[in-house]
Structure formats: structure tokens, C-alpha cells
Amino acid sequence: MYCSKCGANVADGTAFCSACGQPMVGFSVGPAAAGGTVYAPPAQAGWQTPATRPAVAYAGFWLRVVAFIIDALVLYFVGMILFLPFAGSMGMRGMMTGRPPNLEGLLPMIHAMIRLTLLRTILNWLYFSLLESSAWQATLGKKALGLEVTDLDGNRIGFGRATGRFFAKIISSIILGIGYLMAGFTEKKQALHDILAGTLVIRKV
């Protein structure tokens, strides 16, 4: 058996030519076996392996309904604690005890109800916007169900975007609630206010 490179006589069954080191025909030799080194490209400065994100899914309509019910109960009890002590001074004590208001007390009562509605709106706004833009990215109801509010790239949203999302719910409501129902059939389970604010509601799986 002769080496194809240098022509030296090589014994049968030898993997390499003893004269020049050429691999003999019929043997499959990888780079490590042939004495070579496997090339690995140098790591680029500052390059890191991307962190693996937890698997997520879009939160469906019914999960969001349950989260909303939890939030509504929380806000109801907080509102009662905060506003009930002021009911008397707002001219609503008679109404709460079942006595019809007289004409003189009607106007102050209307003013009181407007102020109360404004205060509840502010409470709801701060509750949703502060919590959804916080490190939690969720209200208490969403947190209980493992839901989070993110932007379209899955990142935490700021207070301004959370505020826009909250007030966009007015549009979802005034069109007979269809804006909310859209979370059941849109591709990314977005309600109308999510589309307007550029947000998603996701569920960790």
C-alpha cells in the first residue's frame, strides 16, 4: 500500500503515512484525529447569550373578566372606606336613610354626587395606572391570575401609556361594551383600549 502524497510504502491497516503523515485512503479522519484544531470564532466583546424569557400566552376574554371582578370588589371596598365618612357632609345622609330630599337639599346633593363620581374616577385611574405601570405590571385582580400588561414588545409600560389605556376604556364602554368583547376574538386577544394604547395583556405559562 503506497501513500498517495509521497509514494512511501505503508503497511495495510495503517491510518497515516509514516513518512509524511497523510491520512490513508479508506479512513475517515476528523480534524481532531488528524492533529488539527477545531476553529471557534472569538467571542465578541460585550456579547452575551440572550436570556431565555418565560413562555407566555395572550390572556383571553374570560380571564380578564374574572380579573376585572376582583378589581371591582377591591375598589368598591376601598371606596366605601374612603368616602362613607364624608357622606353626611355631602348632603347624602338623608338619601342613604331612605328619606326623599327636599327641594332645598336637592342641588347640594347633585353637587355631592358629582364630586363623589369625580373622586371615584380619580381613585380608579390611579389604581389601574399606577399598578399596571409598576414592577408588578398588573392590578391586584390581574396579579392573582398571573396576568401582566405590557407594550407590543412585551416590555413594561410607563404611567402615561397606562393612563391612556385607562381612559381609552371609555370608548370601549360607550360602544355597548364591544370594545371589551374584542378581547375574545382579536388575534392577540386585545380589547379596543389595548389596540388604542398599544398594549397587550399576557399570561405566564
Q: What is the pLDDT of residues 114-142, one digit of tens each?
A: 878 888 899 999 999 999 999 999 999 99
pLDDT of residue 30: 44
Degrees, nearest 5: CA angle 153-155-160:
110
Overall average pLDDT of the 7-26 stretch:
66
pLDDT of residue 175: 92
CA 61 – CA 91 distance, rounded (Å): 40
CA 132 – CA 170 distance, rounded (Å): 17
pTM: 0.63
Q: Is the pLDDT of residue 35 over 50?
A: no
Q: Is the pLDDT of residue 40 over 50?
A: no
CA 127 – CA 117 distance, rounded (Å): 15
Per cent of the chain over pLDDT 70 is: 62
Contact status, residue 182 vs residue 191, Cβ threshold 8 Å: yes
How confident is the prediction for the chain on average, in pLDDT?
Answer: 77
User: Can you tell me whether residue 94 is helix, strand or coil?
Assistant: helix
pLDDT of residue 15: 59
Q: Is the pLDDT of residue 202 over 80?
A: yes
Contact status, residue 13 vs residue 27, Cβ threshold 8 Å: no
Q: Three cell numbers at 178?
A: 364591544
Sign of torsion over alpha carbons 105, 111, 114, 119? negative
